[in-house]
Amino acid sequence: MEIERQEYIDYMTFKKVGKPIFVELFGPLVGLPEEWAAQGATPEEIGMTAFGFDSVRRHDIEINTGLLDTGVDQVLDENEEYVITLDSLGRKMKMIKATATLPLPLNHPVTDMDSWLTIKHRYEFREDRLSPDWEQNARTALESGALLVAAIPGGFDEPRQLLGEENLCYAYYEQPELIHDILSTIGDTAYRVLDLVSAKIRVDQLSVHEDMAGKSGSLVGPLQIDEFIAPYYRKVWDLLESRGAKIFRQDSDGNMNSVIDSFLKAGVTEMYPMEPAAGMDIVEIRKKYGKKLAMSGGIDKHVLRQSREAIRKELEYKLQPLMQEGGMIFGLDHRITNGTPLENYRYYVKTARELLGLDPHPEPGWARMAF
């Protein structure tokens, strides 16, 4: 079912409880559609439209707050196993065809201030960061009931793309002036772009992608967030919030428990996908933070490869009444894994709808809610 824009905003900001929202956040991993087809899945099931997931109409405001002049990647090497490309930053990127959905960099363009200065201009403000028709298109989308979304580069993720994870973590201590300059540049550009946008039309949601944690925890702690990332976040979010923005949505896999407090202080209002296998328990987080933090995801994708009893147990815990008080988009914590039986997925959807009090026979529809 398509949810009205204002209904969605009210639900995610705890103003109104309303009907629970149930979605598929990311969809199947590479290879799962073929597995399901062999198990008798319909085209609608493979296409994820058969399950009646909720959706909200949305519009990405046509701006660029990150890297400019990206161009087309050049293929350097390809075989049945992988493809290696050269991207616009000069990075060699390797994609494993059978399992991967994202390529991994084999090298990085920034090692010090001098190498950063050679590409810094590609992160600085230019008028062409705003599409010529951005305003008209945003107003048309708003009139159709769409949520207006703006995105900014990650405060951890973008420097990670430039330096690599290990070098970035060293640089916080050995080259702090470099990281400050990177984030100051990106922050100034994002602010100037979104100042122009929000002076003309209200942004509903600010989105940022980080992916800064693994099972053992975040790759940076509260000290690094408070010194480097929070000033960048607050500069942009304070502007948009003062002009009516309601949702600041952060995407990060892994165990983020140790840094939730820091990101709440930095302005974040929602986090996802809340991976149970990495120690993220949405029920315990809700008990601790209440209405300070909205969430999406949180249902253990790995349980779907187990028994029906295990699936029901997981759902009865994660979908309990405490979690149905708004500010929670129910869904798997990431892509549906290979080896998930089609019958188990059908049972998962049916049981979740039952526990949430949703229509057991919904109209078709699939929303990728990860935005």
CA angle 9, 13, 14 (to 5 degrees): 115
For 157, other C-beta atoms within 10 Å of its C-beta total 18
Same domain, 85 and 158: no
Residue 320 placed within a domain: yes
> What are phi and psi for residue 160, nearest 5 degrees?
-65, -40
Q: Which pTM does this prediction carry?
A: 0.94
pLDDT band at 119 (very low <50, low <70, confident <90, very high): very high
Q: 14: domain range?
A: 2-68+126-356
What is the predicted pLDDT for the residue at 371?
43
What region does 199 belong to: left with phi over 0, alpha with psi -120 to 50, or beta? Answer: alpha
Q: Examine the pLDDT at 37 and tell me if it is beyond 50.
A: yes
| Residue 261 confidence (pLDDT) above 50 | yes
Kindly report the number of other CB atoms within 10 A of residue 196's CB atom. Answer: 16
Preceding omega of 153 cis (within 30 degrees of 0): no
Q: Is residue 161 part of a domain?
A: yes
Q: Is the same domain home to 201 and 266?
A: yes
pLDDT band for position 367 (50/70/90)? Answer: low
pLDDT, mean over the chain: 95
| Residues 173, 68: Cα–Cα separation, whole Å | 28
Instruction: From 79, 110, 141, give the residue that closes a domain.
Output: 110
- Decide if 163 contacts 218 (C-beta within 8 A): no
Q: How many domains does the chain have?
A: 2
Alpha-carbon span 186 to 337, nearest angstrom: 35
Mean pLDDT of the region 8-23: 95
Residue 99 counted as domain residue = yes
Residue 128: CB atoms within 10 Å: 8
pLDDT 10s digits, 133-177? 999 999 999 999 999 999 999 999 999 999 999 999 999 999 999
Q: How far apart are the first and last CA of the chain?
A: 18
State whether 191 and 311 are in the same domain. yes
